[in-house]
Homo-oligomer: A and B are copies of this chain.
Amino acid sequence: MARPEPPVTNGPVTCGSGVPGDRFDPPEDVEVRVPAGPRAVITMRTVAADLAARAEFTLDAVADLRMAVDEACSSLITLARPDTRLTCTFNVHEEHITVTASVLTTGAERLDTDSFGWRVLTTLASDVRMLSATPGQDGDPFRLALRLSVERLGTPLS
């Protein structure tokens, strides 16, 4: 067997590379699409929190990520075209999780960066970026995305 064998003793012996939470060290990426309505927000923040918990981020980080995803997705869905989807990709890295949330919009919309919601978002997450794509030559509609990261230890309190 290739697996190194733990020593045999009469005391407790543990086997296995870890509890379910810590076995997924390498980056993981998950893409989720849901109709761009309020329910979408709950699905997205649940997936985010689950990934963070499984990657053994701190409880503060899990809470911060849930809130950041909630804020980002809640803002985006207000600008989504009817009958389109909210898309989130979650990239789990060693020291942070990056989330990219996007919707199709009816025009060159942007989010209000003077709002309290935006301030909460940028406090909870590091490296928040708004990305927008204008229609391409193939007739793709406008797309507005938010990208944000939350660190493994969560947001330091100021």
Interface, chain A (partner B; CB < 8 A): 20, 24, 28-35, 39, 42-43, 46-47, 50-51, 54, 85
Show 26 A/B contacts (Cβ-Cβ < 8 Å), sorted by A.
A20-B42, A24-B39, A28-B34, A28-B35, A28-B39, A28-B43, A29-B34, A29-B35, A30-B32, A30-B33, A30-B34, A30-B43, A31-B32, A31-B33, A31-B34, A31-B85, A32-B32, A32-B33, A32-B47, A42-B54, A43-B47, A43-B50, A43-B51, A46-B50, A47-B47, A50-B50
Kindly state the separation between the CA atoms of A114 and B47 in the bound complex, as whole angstroms.
Answer: 34
Kindly state the separation between the CA atoms of A39 and B25 in the bound complex, as whole angstroms.
Answer: 11
A89 → B minimal CB distance (Å): 9
A58 → B minimal CB distance (Å): 20
Which residues of chain B have C-beta atoms less than 8 A from A20's C-beta? 42
Which residues of chain B have C-beta atoms less than 8 A from A46's C-beta? 47, 50
Quick one: closest B residue to A44, CB to CB? B30
Which residues of chain B have C-beta atoms less than 8 A from A35's C-beta? 28-29
Which residues of chain B have C-beta atoms less than 8 A from A43's C-beta? 28, 30, 47, 50-51
Quick one: closest B residue to A26, CB to CB? B39
Kindly state the separation between the CA atoms of A25 and B47 in the bound complex, as whole angstroms.
Answer: 20
